[in-house]
Structure 1
Amino acid sequence: MKKVGVILISLFISVYLNSHLVFAEQNSPEKFPKPYVTTQDVLFTLLLPEMDKIINVNYDKTKQHWNIDRVLNVKYDSEKLKGWYEIDFSIQVFDNLVKDIYHYDYMTIKVGIKNEEGKTDNKIELVNYKKK
């Protein structure tokens, strides 16, 4: 009898709790404002001109086709980097754009936020570039 009572109470509680659950609303692309922009899009827009120069210098070309694959790491250490952010990227570099042949390079850049006087600097410096 105790087992039946425990089972009935458990069943009642589980049915009662499940009926009062609130389901999260699924975010669909239609719910985002047009145009939809992420912080990654803003970051890439700011860094693309300098990164394009760096990649073209590394390939001795005036125009090398490439894409940012992803941001691998973002570091900020106020003591060591003195107001700089260090960002690691994986870059997709196209060897043959028509045949879609590409490889991945890795780039580390420093982005200056403030200079010695605390004013914004926004300098970009290459730390490391690895060709694969």
Structure 2
Amino acid sequence: MTNRRNKVFSLFKGATLTAVLATTLSFSTVTQANDVQRLVNSLCEAAKADDRTGMRKKLKSAKIRLKKIYSGVQCGDQGSLLRAATNAGALNAATFIATKIGKDNLAMAESDGKNIVQFAQGLVAAGDASKQAFVDLYNSKM
């Protein structure tokens, strides 16, 4: 009888451990998703504030390369990280981003079908001459 009780206890113990692990893993996934969203929000805010150093520190502490995540980073209705920096007139942040993301990401078209150079050229054509520096920057990196 004692041997049977030990088997039942062992099964119960294993089931409990499995339930605890499943709960922990699902909580961990939610936590990671929250961490990623916090990182994206921080990067967007730093880009708008022209905080190149802040972006670098956040990426370094997260141990993430901007090139690996750039295509998934959206700053609300402004679009990509570069578009957010361009709209805010944040040339230092835009230089940092353009240097780190590579030519493929610079040439990538966004939801409106325009890449970052075409987007910045559109702003200049609409009368915002201050965005010419961004056009020149993006052309030099492509």
Higher relative contact order (CA 8 A, sep 6+): 2
User: Could you tell me the TM-score, scaled by structure 2's length?
Assistant: 0.26
Q: Which structure has greater strand proportion?
A: 1
Q: Which structure has greater helix proportion?
A: 2
